[in-house]
Amino acid sequence: MNAAIRAVIRTGQARGVNTWGVYQGYSGLIEGNFKRLGTRDMGSIIQRGGTVLGSARCPEFQTEEGVELAIRRLHGSGIDGLVVIGGNGSQTGANELRKMGFPVVGVASTIDNDLYGSDVTIGVDTALNVALNAIDNLKVTASSHRRALLVEVMGRKCGYLALMAGIAGGAEAIVLPEIEAVPEQVAERIQDSYDRGKPHAIVVVAEGAKYNAEGLCRYFREHGLLHGFEFRSTVLGYVQRGAVPTCADRLLGTRLGSEAAEQIIAGNAGVLVGVCKGELTTTPLEEVVVGKKPLDPWFLKAADMLAR
Ligand code: F6P
């Protein structure tokens, strides 16, 4: 996200516009927690994970009064346009500001990659690389001890991180929220790996699946399903966030942030800036908040075929 913040500020400055940072997301917007930021304030942030502006979940912004108060704060500081960097929750808030007539442009950013209007979102590549590193390391223990390891990755109700990390990490099975997993079938897959002489089995489980990693382990134990491999679960959790951003993420953040600034300066507000089929795109926020982004069927098919 820092690459995007930097690109918004520096593009704005290059176009002769005054630029501000809003601290702590929508709660900072409601409290008027703003600071004038210029080009020099953006020095040495592109290589840092997270966001220098901070972030917050803000229930108050989900009320009409909260949104109105935020708009009053913005007007009070002479701010007449806002760039919102974030995922579904943030863009839903951006759409509320739009509905009340405030000019806002969204930037597609979430590790979950579940946001309609961009094929890929800021943070996904970095989070995937963290998950992959962990899977590679876990595979060493799994092979040394002849174990089945169930690795849980983030993603809310979306299986994108699990699917991609599972394919790139060579998992024996992948469990997704989009396809209801039958524990017996997962166990069969693991057992089959054992019977064919594999030294390990890695199962990547999405946190939003019906059975999470621990849930599956419990089910296997209670139903006496696995013979041969010992099995354990590992939850990667917040480790997947905050890493040094990859090159792909720095470039994506830069591209989306700069384009968002250009769009808002040009008066083209009420849209989300994203990348579709490699090209920069704008999608109306009202479509973004209702749109669904399905998993790529090619990868779904490949995952099943290649796990052998
Ligand atoms: O949306 C990003 C994400 O990291 C999800 O993958 C995860 O489920 C959630 O945020 C965790 O949210 P919180 O930080 O509020 O616990």
> For a pocket test of ligand 1, which of 115, 126, 156 has the largest count of ligand atoms closer than 8 A to its C-beta?
156
> For a pocket test of ligand 1, which of 1, 24, 58, 112 has the largest count of ligand atoms closer than 8 A to its C-beta?
112
- pLDDT on residue 183: 96
- pLDDT on residue 305: 84
Per DSSP, the residues of the chain read: -HHHHHHHHHHHHHTT---EEETTHHHHHHHT-EEE--GGGGTT-TT-SS-TT-----GGGGSHHHHHHHHHHHHHTT---EEEEESHHHHHHHHHHHHTT--EEEEEB-TT---TT-SS-BTHHHHHHHHHHHHHHHHHHHHHHTEEEEEEE--TT--HHHHHHHHHTT-SEEE-SSSPPPHHHHHHHHHHHHHTT-S-EEEEEETTSSS-HHHHHHHHHHTT---SSEEEEEE-GGGGSSPPPPHHHHHHHHHHHHHHHHHHHTT--SEEEEEETTEEEEEEHHHHTT---PPPHHHHHHHHHHT-
- pLDDT on residue 14: 98
Q: Distance from the CA of 93 to the center of ligand 1, in angstroms? A: 17
- pLDDT on residue 157: 97
41 as an active site residue: the answer is: no
- pLDDT on residue 293: 97
> For a pocket test of ligand 1, which of 154, 157, 235, 241 has the largest count of ligand atoms closer than 8 A to its C-beta?
154
**Which atom of ligand 1 is nearest the CA belonging to 208?**
8
End-to-end CA distance of the chain: 37
- pLDDT on residue 218: 98
**Which atom of ligand 1 is nearest the CA belonging to 156?**
8
- pLDDT on residue 181: 85
Options 41, 80, 112, 136, the catalytic residue: 112
- pLDDT on residue 148: 97
Residue pLDDT, tens place only, 133-142: 999 999 999 9
- pLDDT on residue 259: 99
Q: Distance from the CA of 241 to the center of ligand 1, in angstroms? A: 9
Q: Distance from the CA of 156 to the center of ligand 1, in angstroms? A: 7
Q: List, edge to edge, every strand of the sheet that includes 271-276.
A: 82-86, 104-108, 271-276, 279-284
Residue pLDDT, tens place only, 56-87: 999 999 999 999 999 999 999 999 999 999 99
**Which atom of ligand 1 is nearest the CA belonging to 207?**
8
Protein residue whose Cα sits closest to atom 15 of ligand 1 = 57
| Residues in contact with ligand 1 (CB, 6 Å cut-off) | 57, 87, 110-112, 154-156, 207, 241
Q: Which residues of the chain have pLDDT under 70?
A: none
pTM over 0.85: yes
- pLDDT on residue 18: 97
